[in-house]
C-alpha cells in the first residue's frame, strides 16, 4: 500500500460509532421487529394467539361431533333435536372469536387498497359461514327439500388449522430472532462501581456512566464497554464476535460489554454504556437488517396480490359455470375450495422468515449485515475487488531497513525526522516508523505545521525546514529523482517503501514489511472455486503488491493507486458484472458504497464501516467465505419457499375449480385447508433449517 493511501486510517476499537444507532439494552424489544405479515402484526402477540387456538379447538370438538363433513355422517357423530342450532351457536362464536385476527388484518389490507392473504382467508371463512347459516335456516326452519349441506365442519377445522399454522409460524419467527434476545441478555444486571475514595459498591448496570471505573471479578460478565486500567485476564467474546478462543487482555486494551471475564480481576474505565455500547449497536444493526424491506419480500407481496385476483377470477368462473351446470348448492363448496386453497399465507412468511434467520445466524458468526438487500444478488457477483493493507495483510508494519540517500544526513537522521513528522498519524506505516525510532532511544525532534498530502503522504517542518514522507508514485509524479537501484531489493521482498524528501530531493528511504492475514489465502481459494475473480487494489508499489498477490493466488493487481482511482476501477469492473468490494480504510469508503456489495473489515475505520453493507467483526477475511455461503443458502431457501408458498396453486386452483371433476378428481374445502396450512408449516420448517454449510 502506498504510504499516503490510508493516511488517517484509524484502527477502530470495539466502541464503533455507527450513525443512527439508538437501541438501548434495556429497551430492546423483539416485538418491535418490523415484520409485518400482511397486516397481522404478529397476530396480536404470541400468548394471545396460543390462547385463541386452544379455545377455538375446544369449540371445534363438539362442532365436529354434531356436524357432518361434506354432508357425510361419520360413525362418531351425534345428532339430536336442536343439535343444528347448537352447532350454529358454537360456529358463530368460533367464527367471530377465532376469525377476528383475520378480519382486522383484512380491513387493513382493504384500507391500503392492497388485498392479499388475509383478505383471501376472510373471504373463504365468511363464504363458508354465511352459507352454513343459510343451510340451518333452510333445513330446520323452512324445511327445504332436498336438504342443504352446511359447512360448519369445514369452517371450524379451517379456522383451527389456520390458527395452528400461525402459532407455529410465529414461534418460528420468535426463534429466528433469538440471537437478538441472546445478545440483549448478555449484559449483567449489576456492576461493581469503584468510588473516588476507592470503595466498591454494587449498582444497577443502567446507572453506569462513561468515565466511571468498575471492578470486574473472575467469571463475571463485562457490564459495559471500556478500557482496562489495571490487571490482566482472558475474555471470552464468542457470543459477541463469534471468535471461539479466549482473548488475552491487559492494561490499555478494550473490553466489550457482554463478554465473560476469565480468571483475573480487572479494573475498567467505561467508554460506552446503553445506546453508545457496542452490544446495542450490534442489536440495532441486526434489527434494522431484519426490518427493512428487500426485493424478495416485495416480490412475495406482489405474487400474493396477483394470487388474490387470480383466485377471485377462478372462483367467479367456477361459481358461474357450476351454478349453470348443477345449481348454486353444488357450486358453493367448489367456490369455497378455490378461495381456501388460494390463501397465500405461507407466501407472506416465505421471505421474512429466511431473512430473520439469516441475520440472526450472521450476528453470531461475526457478520453484521447492515443492508440485506445487497446480498440478494450474491449469485451474480463476478468480481471481488479488495484492498491489500488491513484487508489481506495485518497492517502491522515493521521497519526492515532504512538509509540515507544524501551525504548531509546520517542513517539515523532519516528515521528520526520521519518519526517526528509521523507522530500524530495512526496510519500503519507511520506506527512502524515510530516504533523503529523508539528502539533507538534517541532524543525526539519536534515537528510543526503537519499536513497530509492527499493520497500520497504527510509533510511538516522541523527547525523551519520542510520535510515530506511520501511514496514512490509521488516522486514519479513530481519528477523527483531517486536511485531505484538502492531500493529494488526491498521491493522484490514485498516491502512497502516510503521516501523522505526535502528541498525537492529524496534524502532517504524506509522499507517496511507487512504480514499476510491467516484467512486471506483461504478466502482467495474459495473465491476462485466460486468463479468470482479476486482483484487487488492498492496504493502500494507494484512490486510489493505483486509479491503478496503471487503468494495468495491473485492474478489481477492494480497498484500505486490514489483513493479516487479505486472507485473508478470499481465502476470499470461493474461494466462487465456485479462487484463486491472488501476494504477497511477511509479511502475505501467511496468504493464500499459504489460496489454492489460492500464488505468492511471490522478493525477498519468508522467511515468505512458506515459505508459498508456487511461488517466483518473479527477482521478475518476468511469470514467472507461464511458470508457467501450463508447468502447463497438463503437465496436458495427463498426460491424454495416462494414455490412452497404459492407454486402449488398452479395445480391446486384448477383442481379445486373442478377441471378434472369428470374423472372424479376434485379438491374439497377441508383438503384445501390442509394443503394450504401444510405449505405454511413447510415454509416455516424450511426457513429454520437454514445454516452455514
Res 18: pLDDT? 32
User: Burial of 76 by CB count in 10 Å (0-12 exposed, 13-18 middle, 19+ buried)?
Assistant: exposed
With 80 as the cut, is the pLDDT of residue 481 above it?
yes
Instruction: Report pLDDT digits (tens) over 671-687.
Output: 665 676 677 788 888 88
What cell numbers appear for 184 in the block? 440483549
Average confidence score pLDDT of the chain: 78
Assign 283 a pLDDT band (cuts: 50, 70, 90): low
Res 624: pLDDT? 93
**Stretch among 171-180, 319-328, 593-602 having the lowest mean pLDDT:** 171-180
In this prediction, residues 238-256 reach a mean pLDDT of: 70
In this prediction, residues 481-507 reach a mean pLDDT of: 85
Residue with cell 362442532: 63
How much of the chain exceeds pLDDT 70, in percent? 77
With 90 as the cut, is the pLDDT of residue 499 above it?
yes
With 70 as the cut, is the pLDDT of residue 174 above it?
no
With 70 as the cut, is the pLDDT of residue 169 above it?
no
Res 511: pLDDT? 92
Res 35: pLDDT? 34
Assign 334 a pLDDT band (cuts: 50, 70, 90): confident
Most confident of 60-64, 170-174, 544-548: 60-64
Tell how far CA 283 is from the center of its chain: 10
Res 29: pLDDT? 31
Res 11: pLDDT? 32
Active-site choice (2, 150, 387, 588): 387
Bridge partners of 628, per DSSP, are none
**Rounded to an integer, what distance in angstroms lies between the CA atom of residue 371 and that of residue 682?**
27
Assign 4 a pLDDT band (cuts: 50, 70, 90): very low
First to last CA, the chain: 34
Nearest-5° angle of CA 324, CA 329, CA 330? 65
In this prediction, residues 249-257 reach a mean pLDDT of: 87
What cell numbers appear for 489 in the block? 531489493
Res 249: pLDDT? 87
**Rounded to an integer, what distance in angstroms lies between the CA atom of residue 537 and that of residue 386?**
6
**Rounded to an integer, what distance in angstroms lies between the CA atom of residue 275 and that of residue 447?**
39
Q: Are 627 and 613 in contact (CB under 8 A)?
A: no
Res 633: pLDDT? 92
Q: Are 275 and 17 in contact (CB under 8 A)?
A: no
**Stretch among 334-348, 434-448, 470-484 having the lowest mean pLDDT:** 334-348
With 70 as the cut, is the pLDDT of residue 243 above it?
no
Q: Are 640 and 684 in contact (CB under 8 A)?
A: no
3-class SS at 651? helix
What cell numbers appear for 363 in the block? 450476528
In this prediction, residues 343-357 reach a mean pLDDT of: 71
Assign 74 a pLDDT band (cuts: 50, 70, 90): low
Instruction: Report pLDDT digits (tens) over 393-440.
Output: 887 788 999 999 999 999 999 999 999 999 877 677 888 899 899 888
| Global pTM value | 0.57
**Rounded to an integer, what distance in angstroms lies between the CA atom of residue 64 and that of residue 155?**
10
Res 244: pLDDT? 43
Q: Are 676 and 345 in contact (CB under 8 A)?
A: yes
Instruction: Report pLDDT digits (tens) over 364-403.
Output: 888 888 777 778 788 899 999 998 877 888 877 889 999 9
Res 321: pLDDT? 94
Q: Which of 457, 454, 476 is nearest to 466 (CA)?
A: 457
Assign 166 a pLDDT band (cuts: 50, 70, 90): low
Q: How many residues are given for the chain?
A: 693
Res 677: pLDDT? 66
| 387 has catalytic annotation | yes
What cell numbers appear for 17 in the block? 460509532
Q: Which of 546, 638, 588 is nearest to 298 (CA)?
A: 638
Res 513: pLDDT? 83
Instruction: Report pLDDT digits (tens) over 600-622.
Output: 887 655 655 666 788 888 888 88
Res 579: pLDDT? 94
Instruction: Report pLDDT digits (tens) over 607-661.
Output: 556 667 888 888 888 899 999 999 999 989 988 888 887 777 787 788 888 888 8
Res 28: pLDDT? 31
Residue with cell 342450532: 85
Amino acid at each position: 500500500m502506498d504510504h499516503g493511501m490510508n493516511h488517517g486510517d484509524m484502527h477502530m476499537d470495539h466502541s464503533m460509532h455507527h450513525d443512527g444507532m439508538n437501541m438501548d439494552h434495556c429497551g430492546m424489544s423483539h416485538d418491535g421487529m418490523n415484520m409485518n405479515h400482511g397486516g397481522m402484526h404478529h397476530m396480536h402477540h404470541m400468548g394471545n394467539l396460543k390462547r385463541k387456538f386452544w379455545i377455538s379447538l375446544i369449540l371445534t370438538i363438539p362442532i365436529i361431533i354434531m356436524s357432518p363433513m361434506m354432508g357425510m355422517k361419520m360413525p362418531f357423530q351425534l345428532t339430536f333435536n336442536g343439535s343444528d342450532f347448537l352447532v350454529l351457536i358454537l360456529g358463530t362464536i368460533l367464527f367471530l372469536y377465532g376469525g377476528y385476527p383475520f378480519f382486522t388484518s383484512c380491513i387493513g389490507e382493504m384500507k391500503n387498497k392492497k388485498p392479499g392473504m388475509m383478505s383471501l382467508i376472510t373471504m373463504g371463512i365468511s363464504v363458508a359461514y354465511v352459507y352454513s347459516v343459510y343451510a340451518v335456516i333452510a333445513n330446520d326452519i323452512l324445511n327445504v327439500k332436498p336438504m342443504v349441506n352446511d359447512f360448519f365442519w369445514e369452517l371450524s377445522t379451517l379456522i383451527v388449522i389456520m390458527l395452528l399454522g400461525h402459532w407455529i409460524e410465529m414461534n418460528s419467527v420468535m426463534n429466528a430472532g433469538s440471537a437478538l434476545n441472546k445478545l440483549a441478555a448478555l449484559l449483567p444486571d449489576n456492576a461493581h462501581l469503584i468510588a473516588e475514595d476507592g470503595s466498591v459498591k454494587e449498582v444497577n448496570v443502567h446507572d453506569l456512566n462513561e468515565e466511571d471505573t468498575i471492578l470486574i471479578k473472575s467469571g463475571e460478565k463485562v457490564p459495559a464497554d471500556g478500557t482496562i486500567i489495571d490487571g490482566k485476564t482472558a475474555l471470552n467474546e464468542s457470543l459477541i464476535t463469534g471468535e471461539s478462543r479466549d482473548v488475552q487482555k491487559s492494561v490499555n486494551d478494550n473490553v466489550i460489554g457482554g463478554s465473560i471475564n476469565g480468571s483475573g480481576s480487572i479494573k475498567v474505565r467505561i467508554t460506552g454504556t446503553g445506546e453508545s455500547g457496542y452490544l446495542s449497536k450490534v442489536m440495532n444493526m441486526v434489527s434494522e437488517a431484519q426490518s427493512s424491506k428487500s426485493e424478495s419480500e416485495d416480490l412475495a407481496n406482489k405474487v400474493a396480490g396477483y394470487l388474490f385476483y387470480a383466485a377471485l377470477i377462478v372462483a367467479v368462473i367456477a361459481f358461474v359455470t357450476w351454478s349453470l351446470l348443477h345449481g348454486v348448492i353444488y357450486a358453493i363448496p367448489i367456490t369455497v375450495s378455490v378461495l381456501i386453497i388460494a390463501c397465500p399465507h405461507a407466501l407472506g412468511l416465505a421471505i421474512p422468515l429466511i431473512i430473520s434467520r439469516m441475520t440472526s445466524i450472521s450476528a453470531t458468526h461475526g457478520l453484521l449485515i447492515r443492508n440485506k438487500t445487497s446480498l440478494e444478488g450474491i449469485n451474480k457477483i463476478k468480481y471481488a475487488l479488495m484492498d491489500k493493507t488491513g484487508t489481506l495483510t495485518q497492517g502491522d508494519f515493521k521497519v526492515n531497513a532504512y538509509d540515507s540517500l544524501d551525504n548531509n544526513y546520517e542513517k539515523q537522521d532519516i528515521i528520526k525526522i520521519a518519526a517526528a513528522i509521523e507522530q500524530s498519524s495512526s496510519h500503519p506505516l507511520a506506527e512502524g516508523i515510530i516504533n523503529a525510532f523508539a528502539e533507538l532511544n534517541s532524543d525526539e525532534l519536534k515537528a510543526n505545521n503537519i499536513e497530509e498530502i492527499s493520497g500520497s503522504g504527510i509533510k511538516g517542518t522541523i527547525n523551519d525546514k520542510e520535510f515530506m514522507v511520501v511514496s514512490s508514485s509521488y516522486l514519479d509524479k513530481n519528477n523527483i529523482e531517486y536511485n531505484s537501484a538502492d531500493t529494488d531489493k526491498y521491493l522484490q521482498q514485498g516491502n512497502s517503501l516510503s521516501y523522505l524528501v526535502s528541498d525537492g530531493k529524496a534524502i532517504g528511504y524506509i522499507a517496511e514489511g507487512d504480514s499476510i492475514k491467516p484467512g486471506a489465502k483461504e478466502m482467495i481459494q474459495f473465491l476462485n472455486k466460486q468463479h468470482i475473480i479476486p482483484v487487488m487494489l492498492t496504493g502500494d508499489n507494484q512490486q510489493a503488491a505483486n509479491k503478496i498477490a503471487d503468494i495468495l493466488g491473485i492474478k489481477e493487481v492494480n497498484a500505486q493507486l490514489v483513493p479516487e482511482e479505486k472507485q473508478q476501477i470499481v465502476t470499470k469492473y461493474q461494466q462487465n458484472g456485479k462487484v463486491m468490494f472488501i476494504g477497511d480504510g477511509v479511502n475505501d469508503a467511496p468504493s464500499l458504497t459504489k460496489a454492489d456489495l460492500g464488505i468492511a473489515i471490522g478493525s477498519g475505520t468508522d467511515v468505512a464501516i458506515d459505508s459498508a453493507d456487511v461488517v466483518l467483526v473479527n477482521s478475518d477475511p476468511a469470514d467472507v467465505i461464511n458470508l457467501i455461503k450463508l447468502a447463497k443458502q438463503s437465496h436458495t431457501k427463498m426460491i424454495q419457499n416462494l414455490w412452497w408458498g404459492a407454486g402449488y396453486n398452479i395445480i391446486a386452483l384448477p383442481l379445486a375449480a373442478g377441471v378434472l371433476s369428470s374423472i372424479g378428481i376434485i379438491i374439497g374445502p377441508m383438503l384445501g385447508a390442509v394443503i394450504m396450512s401444510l405449505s405454511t408449516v413447510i415454509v416455516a420448517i424450511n426457513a429454520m433449517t437454514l445454516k452455514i454449510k
